[in-house]
Amino acid sequence: MTELLYQTDSYRCEFNATIVAADAQAGRVALDRTAFYPGGGGQPCDVGTLIQTVDGPEPRPITWPVIQVKKEGDLIWHHLSPPLGEGPGEGSARLAPYPAEGTVVVGRLDWPRRYALMRTHTALHILCGVVWRDYGAQVTGGNMDPLQGRMDFEFATLRGELVSEIEAKCNAEVAAGREVRVRILPRAEAFQIPDLIRTKINLLPPEITEVRTVEIVGLDLQADGGTHVANTREVGRIRVTDYKSKGAINKRIYIEVENE
């Protein structure tokens, strides 16, 4: 089982870990612990590097780019590119193109990308919280990239005036400096929280015994597995860049988070 460091500390961008499974043919390894988010809920996976220090008279690091991360069962698999600075057939890469089981490595996230995704994800929760609180519309879908995303809501109609109103309300919540809290609760306790699931369809499978919740204090409380900033002020200004009808009662709102 991989310990999921990102669930309790979104700001952890470097960590030590041991490889517990290796698939050299697929170019991937699983770690006993990781801060890399494997993707899900519309949030892309993290990327970064794994680093191994090779002992010897002149110790040197071997660095593998982490290009994709996926969760399979209880393990988080990190898909790797060949080591940086090692051409085909050169040095240790020729003997061990990927680290083996039992290897101790240092994981480092691409922090600017991760932090941009944290700001974006929290921005989407602000949008969701405002729309639910003031208009009672459920979420029907969503997706994000660093500093931009979209969310679909169960609106019958959506006009430019209403979209501008929603944007202003979202930025008021950013300026309010609301704390963002993360908790992991037993399933039975979590489902006693009213309106915990904001999506039209409950996507939590019944075998999940613990539920991670993300609360923007005073605005929003949802079941969520992704990474977030600790305070809404960190999000920065939210701009609604477009909106579209995706069906009779399905409307899409596109946002961008202004770069700092």
Give residue 107's pLDDT. 98
Mean pLDDT confidence for 63-87: 89
Mean pLDDT confidence for 140-150: 95
Give residue 91's pLDDT. 46
50: left (phi over 0), alpha (psi -120 to 50) or beta: beta
Kindly tell me if the per-residue pLDDT of 149 is higher than 60.
Answer: yes
Kindly tell me if the per-residue pLDDT of 108 is higher than 70.
Answer: yes
Give residue 198's pLDDT. 57
Give residue 54's pLDDT. 77
- Angstrom distance (rounded) from CA 239 to CA 231: 18
Give residue 127's pLDDT. 98
Express as a percent the part of the chain with pLDDT over 70. Answer: 88
| 95: confidence class by pLDDT, cuts 50, 70, 90 | very low
Residues 173-209: tens digit of each pLDDT:
999 999 999 999 888 887 788 766 655 455 566 777 8
Mean pLDDT confidence for 1-12: 96
Give residue 60's pLDDT. 78
Kindly tell me if the per-residue pLDDT of 218 is higher than 90.
Answer: yes
Q: Comparing 118 with 259, which gets the higher pLDDT? A: 118
Give residue 90's pLDDT. 45
Give residue 202's pLDDT. 53
Give residue 189's pLDDT. 85
Instruction: Catalogue all structural domains in the chain, each as residue range(s) with its CATH number.
Output: 3-109 (2.40.30.130), 113-257 (3.30.980.10)
Mean pLDDT confidence for 86-91: 46
Give residue 98's pLDDT. 87
| 259: confidence class by pLDDT, cuts 50, 70, 90 | confident
The structure tokens listed for 202 are 């409950």
Mean pLDDT confidence for 68-88: 86
Residues 19-65: tens digit of each pLDDT:
999 999 999 999 999 999 999 989 999 999 999 987 766 667 899 99
State the average pLDDT for the chain.
Answer: 90
